[in-house]
Amino acid sequence: MAYPLYTVAQLRAIEHAASSTLAPGTLMTRAGKAAADYALELLGASGDDLRGAPVLVLAGPGNNGGDALEVAANLAEAGVNATVLHLPGDGNDDASSETAAAYERARSGTVGWLDMLPPDGQWALVVDGLFGIGLTRALAGEYRDVVAGLDDVRCPILALDVPSGLDADTGAVIGPDGIAVRATHTITFIADKPGLHTADGRDHAGVVRVDTLGVDAAATPTTAAMNGLPAFAHCFTARRQNSHKGSFGDVAVIGGAHGMAGAPVLAARGALYAGAGRVYVAALNTPPGYDSSQPEIMFRAADDLDLFGRTLVLGPGMGDSVDAMRLVAKALDSDCPLVLDADALNLVGASPDLQARLAQRSAPSVLTPHPLEAARMLGMTVSVVQADRLASARELAQRMHAVVILKGSGTVIADPDGAVLINPTGNAGLATAGSGDVLAGICGALLAQGWPGKEAAAAAAWLHGAAADALVEDGVGPIGLTAGELPAAVRKVLNAQVRAAAQAAD
């Protein structure tokens, strides 16, 4: 599996196994060296230039604090003006022998020491080594005060292993009223963690770098990974010259109740630009004659459309009428590949009968809920879904026997077999009306072209986010980016990847 992600429990076992073959303190020494090297890189200076770079190192009571003390000692030896704010806890009872040794090393050098965070400190870099992956309760007392004080710091912040206060498994800030360091960079040790890439993780971890510390985690199996080209690039194929529109499948978007005609049109444009051969909008309300921007899209009344042989995208602007429920039931009973989005998800979530029909399907089914829609389908609150996005996506996929794209920061793609991917592409510009409709259309287009459900979902999420990233890079957004701008950007990214795959195959 490419770009694997490991839970805290898995990492504890990997670290324990590695430590049994190494001299005591080896991993801490390696972590301190790797993080100090990264800090020097972020400072962008060398030699005498470093002497004018004041660096604040926050060191907590455990092994993460020991890593931080090693960083401080290494920086001081490199000529950096390193100062430690040491918060060892009551009696320093939590300190391991390795952390105690790191403390003595830092004390014996030229490291400076503080008792409290100065209100007007001018730092070139702050290193967060308060707490690592072992934290299980919300930051409180002096720890909370120090983290809150970092809001006033105007310099890069480098977190060691995981930003203090962030759950490494889930990406949630720990505690109902928790607080976490908002780092600009994180160097994480041994292997990558899912919590750095979803929920609050992307806002708090910043740029993530992995340093294995010389430990090979690959022998430990894991069911989580970062989404990316290795997950679906084998499905990219150049188009044959001897082909026609029927070669690339039909997509029918079913939705468009009164007052919501725009949603299925956006989904249809997403499908068209992602390569579907023919695209229909099957409207519950009286359909428009045509789309003046994309006249290639064909419009039908929902009851007049033959479902046979088409890939169906159900839900954009569908509403919750009796007719909408009847159409969802009809689609679930078909052998068509399905994408269920928006109102279709709400209808299924409210009906045990529709849920049973969905779970019994043998044709590919992909669900694209946002957290509220997922919460409705799972019978829980949004806060519970967001507290563990990976577990929520897994449960929904297994319960509905479908591939799930749980949208949000660090979109999670889950298989019924329990495997999950976290998508790294995308930005805040996607938080706009209609963005999800476009995603559903892209997914439908890939299914129509014969992609398996898992690969179609992974690629759709990745392309959707990559298109938004490309638009922002070109100065379009994130503020004010609109869903209607996404389809053409998706087409550009998709064609670039197909060309790259073709070149790699030659």
Sheet containing 185-189: which strands, arranged edge to edge?
112-114, 81-86, 54-59, 125-129, 157-160, 185-189, 207-211
Q: Is 133 annotated as a binding residue?
A: yes
Establish whether 138 is an annotated binding residue: yes
User: Distance of alpha carbon 345 from its chain centroid, rounded?
Assistant: 22
Is 161 annotated as belonging to a binding site? yes
Residue 370 annotated as lining a ligand binding site: yes
Q: What share of the chain is helix, strand, coil (3-state, %, to 5)?
A: 45, 15, 40
Give Dmax (Cα) for the chain: 82
Residue 143 marked in a binding site: yes
Tell me if 367 is assigned to a ligand binding site.
no
Whole-angstrom Cα distance, residue 475 to residue 102? 47
Whether residue 437 is annotated as binding a ligand: the answer is yes
Q: Is 303 marked as binding a ligand?
A: no
Tell me: is residue 64 an annotated ligand-binding position. Answer: yes
The amino acid that residue 215 corresponds to is: V
Distance CA 48, CA 65 (A): 28
- How far is it, in rounded angstroms, from Cα 285 to Cα 267? 17
Q: Is 407 annotated as a binding residue?
A: yes
115 a known binding residue?
Answer: no
- The span from the CA of 211 to the CA of 129, in Å, is 16
Rounded Cα gap, residues 211 and 161, in angstroms:
9
CA 251/CA 388 separation, integer angstroms: 33
Q: Is 410 marked as binding a ligand?
A: yes
Q: Is 67 annotated as a binding residue?
A: yes
Assigned token pair, 330: 């009809």
- Ligand-binding annotation for 228, yes or no, is no
For residue 132, say whether it is annotated as part of any ligand binding site.
yes
Q: CB-based contacts of 478: which residues, under 8 Å, 6+ apart?
A: 427, 428, 429, 468, 472
Nearest to 399 by CA among 423, 420, 415: 415
The answer to whether the annotation marks 128 as part of a ligand binding site is yes
* Sign of the four-CA dihedral 122, 128, 130, 135: positive
317 labelled binding-site residue: yes
Q: Is 453 annotated as a binding residue?
A: no
List Cβ neighbours of 499 (8 Å cut-off, separation of 6 or more): 238
Q: Is 408 annotated as a binding residue?
A: yes
415 to each of 145, 227, 292, 395, 399, how far by Cα in Å?
Answer: 41, 13, 38, 10, 11
Q: Which helix (H) or strand (E) holds 269?
A: helix 262-273
Report the distance separating Cα 360 and Cα 186, nearest Å.
43
Q: Is 164 annotated as a binding residue?
A: yes
Residue 7 known to bind ligand: no
Q: What DSSP state is assigned to residue 430?
A: G
63 is in an annotated binding site: yes
Token pair recorded at residue 303: 């009851």
3-state secondary structure 171-191: CCECCCCCCCCCCCEEEEECC
Question: Where does residue 391 rank: exposed (0-12), middle (13-18), buried (19+ CB within 10 A)?
Answer: middle
Q: Report the binding-site residues for (6S)-NADPHX.
A: 63-67, 132-138, 143, 161, 263, 317, 370, 437
Q: Report the binding-site residues for K(+).
A: 64, 128, 164
Q: Report the binding-site residues.
A: 63-67, 128, 132-138, 143, 161, 164, 263, 317, 370, 407-411, 436-437
Q: Report the binding-site residues for AMP.
A: 407-411, 436
